[in-house]
A = this chain, B = another copy of it.
Amino acid sequence: MQKDAHPENNAQSVLQMSVDFAGTFLFAVEGATAAVLSELDFFGVMVLGFTTALVGGVVRDLLIGAVPPRSIRDWRFPVVAFTGAGVVFFLHRYVERIPSPVMVTLDAACLGLFAVAGAEKALAYQINPFIATLMGTITAVGGGTVRDLLLAQVPSVLHSDVYATCALLGSVALVVSRAMGLHRTPSAVLGGVVCFLLRVVSAWQHWSLPTAFTT
C-alpha cells in the first residue's frame, strides 16, 4: 500500500489517468463485442468486458505483489470497464459499424499503453528488468487470453499474427531505454510508439510468426 506514496505515482498526472481509463474502456468494448457475437447474456457481456480490460493488470499485480490489485482498490476501473461493456450491449449495431482499420489502430494504441504501464509498474516494484518485459506483455494480452479461455477457445495470441510480440517488444524498448538512463516519460513514449507502430504495420501487412513446421 505504501507503494502508492512512491514519487512516481504522485507524479501521475490527470492526463495519465485519462489515458488509462480510455484504454480500459476500449479493451472492454472489444471484450464485450466478442461476448455479444458469442450470444452471451447481459451478465456474460459484463464479465467479458471486465476480463478483457482488467484481468491482465490484475494478474500482473498479483505476480509482482501489488495486492490488492489496482482494479480492486480503485472502483473507477471496473466502472469504466462495465460502462464500455454496457455501451456494446445496448449499441452493438453501431459499434460493429466502426471501420476495422479504426478499431485496429485504437487497439494498437491501447496495446502499447498497457504494455508500457505494466512494464513500468513492475520496475517500480523492483522486479528484474527481464521479468518486467514479461509483466508488460501479460498486462497487455492477459485479459484477451482469459477472455478466449472463457469462450472455450485456444487463445488467439498463441497461434495467430504478432499481436503479443508487439507488446513484448514495446516493453523491451521501455526497459532498455530506462536501463540506458532515459527518463521515465520519454522511455514510456518510446516503448508505446514501438508497440503501436509494430502492431499497425503487422496488421496491415498480415505478418505472422512462424510455426515450428514452417521453419
Please report A residues at the B interface, Cβ cutoff 8 Å: 35-36, 38-45, 47-48, 58, 62-65, 67-69, 72-73, 75, 78-79, 88-90, 92, 125, 127-128, 130-131, 134-135, 145, 149-155, 157-160, 162, 164-165, 208-213, 215
Instruction: Say whether chain A's binding surface is mostly helix, strand, loop, or mixed.
Output: helix
Q: Are A40 and B211 in contact (CB under 8 A)?
A: yes
Q: A43-B157, A63-B69 are in contact. List 14 more A-B contacts (CB 8 A).
A: A41-B159, A42-B211, A42-B212, A44-B158, A64-B68, A73-B131, A78-B130, A88-B212, A92-B212, A145-B150, A149-B149, A149-B150, A150-B158, A152-B154
> Per a CB cutoff under 8 Å, which of B73, B78, B155 touches A134?
B78
Q: Are B152 and A210 in contact (CB under 8 A)?
A: no
Q: Are B75 and A128 in contact (CB under 8 A)?
A: yes
Complex contacts, A154 vs chain B, CB 8 Å = 38, 40, 150-152
